[in-house]
Homo-oligomer: A and B are copies of this chain.
Amino acid sequence: MTKKTKINSSRRNFLAGSATVAGAAAAASVMPISIANANHKEAGARGLPSWTSWKKRSALIIHSDKGMETHRDAIGNSVITPLRHVYIRNNMPTMSDAQIGNRNNWKLRVEGVRNPKTYTLAQLKQLAQVTKATILQCSGNGRGFFKHKPRGSQWETGAAACLVWTGCPVSAIVKDCGGVVSGAKFMTSAGDDMPKQLDPKKALVERSVPIKAHKDSFVAWEVNGVDIPNSHGGPLRMITPGYFGINNVKNIGKLAFTAKESDVKYMKSSYRISPIGKKGSQYPSCWEMPVKSWITSPMKSAKSGNVVISGVAFGGTRKASAVKVSVDGGKSWKKAKFTGPDMGKYAWRRFVLETKLKPGSYKIVSKASAGGKSQPKVRMENRRGYAHNGWLDHGLDITVS
């Protein structure tokens, strides 16, 4: 029996023993539904996969069994994205509770340090703790706006979330292990979730990031106040703030300091930002996220008079410093104000512009700045549709009546 088959059958058995899938979906509707989402069509017959049936169906657009994005108006205005609304993009099948076992016994092997060690999750919890808000964003968020139709989920804005994580700082682990070996240039993390019959070169999610990123990184066991759900990479996930989602390795089992980048497919050839028609490891990897923003309200229409335009902005590894909003597709701009808690440089800020609009048609766009850089007008064309932060494509056409 393959590992994947085991996952599915154990889930089926669990559900059969306690509640039907239909029962689960119906019960979820007891939780109040945001008005904004109440009218969303639930795309066709495709429901939530059983391994993530606790999600809120009406907050999500389901692209595939391994990819679902948050509706643009379902991230809310509370800075932190509700967990039941958060997007999912999995390269490996989600691990089952049976595969994970006792979460506190989950193991992390640390290599490329003076005194290599293996920690249990319980030991990491006792070593040191940090809590940070970060943006989790798929490298391909915004892919749906590319005209050459790159392969992959056609995300618009919803493969992104702002979440609060708690974990053990990598710096505390490094210190406890006597420091990094000399010559190390990368922090390399590998998941422990690959079904064993697969070829690691092709299927292991092992990602290297520049070693400087380890200073703010941590291995997390909690998100938004609960244990990290299996479908989001629990019990233990690497969090590298400001870096694209793929670097935030799920089910981390190995943390290594290495002289070279990993040579698995997910590092060497995937997640490279290459010109259309070209590929290879010579192109930049999806590492630090660029500055980005988008409008979340109003989505389609508004009443004339006072209108509150709002959205989110973030700067990747730099703090978002300002956002401008245009209602005429970028001809003229007004400065928006930030509202809501400032959760640190790796979180997004909510912005609002209170303005007066007469009846008519408007194209509302936003442009954020961070660390002296602003969003470009147009997307950077690339083969797989990665790292899109052009402001024009992210605009919304609004009718004011």
Contact surface of A with B, Cβ cutoff 8 Å: 15, 18-20, 22-35, 53-54, 75-83, 85, 103-104, 122, 125-133, 164-166, 222-230, 234, 302-303, 305-308, 310, 339-344, 347, 350, 352, 354
From B104, B131, B339, give the contact of A131 (CB < 8 A): B339
Within the assembled complex, what's the spacing in Å between the Cα atoms of A302 and B33?
Answer: 41
Give every chain B residue within 8 A of A78 (Cβ-Cβ): 80, 131, 164-166, 222-225
Give every chain B residue within 8 A of A81 (Cβ-Cβ): 225
Contact present for A80 and B234 (CB under 8 Å): no
Within the assembled complex, what's the spacing in Å between the Cα atoms of A79 and B344?
Answer: 13
**Lowest 4 CB-CB distances: which A-B pairs, in order?**
A76-B225, A131-B340, A24-B27, A19-B26
Give every chain B residue within 8 A of A82 (Cβ-Cβ): 83, 224-226
Contact present for A227 and B129 (CB under 8 Å): no
Contact present for B225 and A80 (CB under 8 Å): yes
Contact present for B308 and A128 (CB under 8 Å): yes
Contact present for A129 and B223 (CB under 8 Å): no
From B77, B80, B85, B125, give the contact of A308 (CB < 8 A): B125
Q: Would A130 and B339 be within 8 Å (CB), given that A78-B224, A224-B80 are in contact?
A: yes
Q: Is the interface of A mostly helix, strand, loop or mixed?
A: mixed
Contact present for B344 and A341 (CB under 8 Å): yes
Give every chain B residue within 8 A of A339 (Cβ-Cβ): 129-131
Contact present for A29 and B35 (CB under 8 Å): no
Contact present for B77 and A166 (CB under 8 Å): yes
**Shortest beta-carbon distance, A207 to chain B, in Å?**
24
Give every chain B residue within 8 A of A164 (Cβ-Cβ): 78-80, 340-341
Give every chain B residue within 8 A of A15 (Cβ-Cβ): 30
Contact present for A76 and B229 (CB under 8 Å): no
**Shortest beta-carbon distance, A363 to chain B, in Å?**
20
Chain B residue at minimal CB-CB distance from A17: B26
Within the assembled complex, what's the spacing in Å between the Cα atoms of A25 and B22?
Answer: 13
Contact present for B26 and A227 (CB under 8 Å): no
Contact present for B18 and A229 (CB under 8 Å): no
Contact present for A227 and B32 (CB under 8 Å): yes
Q: Would A76 and B234 be within 8 Å (CB), given that A54-B31, A308-B129 are in contact?
A: no
Q: Which of A30, A76, A80, A82 has the most CB of B within 10 A?
A: A30
Q: With A24-B30, A31-B54, A129-B352 given, can you name 7 additional A-B contacts, CB distance below 8 Å?
A: A34-B222, A34-B226, A35-B104, A77-B129, A80-B224, A82-B226, A129-B308
Contact present for B166 and A229 (CB under 8 Å): no
Give every chain B residue within 8 A of A122 (Cβ-Cβ): 303
Q: Which of A18, A130, A131 has the most CB of B within 10 A?
A: A131
From B18, B224, B350, give the contact of A29 (CB < 8 A): B18
Give every chain B residue within 8 A of A222 (Cβ-Cβ): 34, 76-78
